[in-house]
Amino acid sequence: MPDQSLNTSVKEKIYRVFWKTVDFLYPPECVTCSKPGSVWCSDCQAQAVVIGSNCCPICGYPTLNGQLCERCRQVHPPFTQARSWAQYEGGVKEALHSLKYKSNLELGILLANHLCEVLARTQWTFDLILPMPISKKHQAARGYNQSEVIARPLSYLLQIPIETKAVYRVKETETQVKLNREERFKNLQSAFLGNSAKLVNKKVLLVDDTATTGATLESCAQVLQNAGCCEVYCLTVARTIKYLQ
């Protein structure tokens, strides 16, 4: 049996040395204020509107005094619980945009640290970390999956394995404007394919960069449950907040 832990630690060392070299060759500057020294300076990170504990205990949407949101009062979403680090606005939005469209991959490490802060406030236990999959077409065009860039350092920090072959995105579902919520959910569900062999009786943490309506997370979570997962937790860096409930 090859020593998996040794293998992982060597990989992580290579990863760290790689980024130190990149920083040396191309000194980073803050994605928000352009100050040199870091890809996202601590002052700008501190301005993020963090969601904290005053949120719906199930879906994580900010609520006054942390009560259940209106939607979860009516129907339990297809995941055990979901949380997000901050609101999708200002510097957080800029950082995620830079990670997603400008290959600013080093941001993944900083964002993974913030996800650890969120996890520290939960009682979640899980066996696997799953980055939200993107289609082969998107991955080929971008060269990477932005959720994996966050999930990989998170896996290292938590020492919990990442699994990128448990769920696939098999269909693009870009234009959904004309569909209502239920139709969109059905349409989205057919966009994912779960690999039961890797998921049955597993507790998983599904990681994504942003939750806008939550429909993508819910659809993927439903597919994971259908494939045999016993618990599905969802964690996103940011979340669009329209109004406080």
- Span from 43-51, 102-110, 144-152, 209-217 in contact with Zn ion (CB under 5 A): 43-51
Binding status of residue 160 toward Zn ion by CB under 5 A: no
Of 41, 204, 217, 238, which one interacts with Zn ion (CB under 5 A)?
A: 41
Binding status of residue 111 toward Zn ion by CB under 5 A: no
Q: Which residues of 11-34 are buried (b: 16+ CB within 10 A; e: fewer)?
A: eeeeeeeebeeeeeeeebebbbee
| CA 238, 241, 244, 245 torsion-angle sign | negative
- Span from 41-49, 170-178, 225-233, 237-245 in contact with Zn ion (CB under 5 A): 41-49
Binding status of residue 53 toward Zn ion by CB under 5 A: no
Binding status of residue 30 toward Zn ion by CB under 5 A: yes
| CA 235, 206, 105, 98 torsion-angle sign | negative
Quote the DSSP letter at residue 64.
G
Q: Which residues pair with 206 in a beta bridge?
A: 130, 234
- Span from 16-24, 59-67, 140-148, 231-239 in contact with Zn ion (CB under 5 A): 59-67
Residue closer to Zn ion by CB (options 52, 161) is: 52
**Residue 59 Cβ vs Zn ion, minimum distance, rounded to whole Å:** 3
Residue closer to Zn ion by CB (options 35, 137) is: 35
Look at strands 81-87 and 128-131 and give their pairing. Answer: unpaired
Binding status of residue 58 toward Zn ion by CB under 5 A: yes
CB 148 within 8 A of CB 131: yes
Binding status of residue 33 toward Zn ion by CB under 5 A: yes
CB atoms within 10 A of CB 8: 14
C-alpha–C-alpha distance, residues 185 and 222, integer Å: 10
Binding status of residue 158 toward Zn ion by CB under 5 A: no
Residues of this chain that interact with Zn ion (CB under 5 A) are: 30, 32-33, 35, 41, 44, 56, 58-59, 61, 69, 72
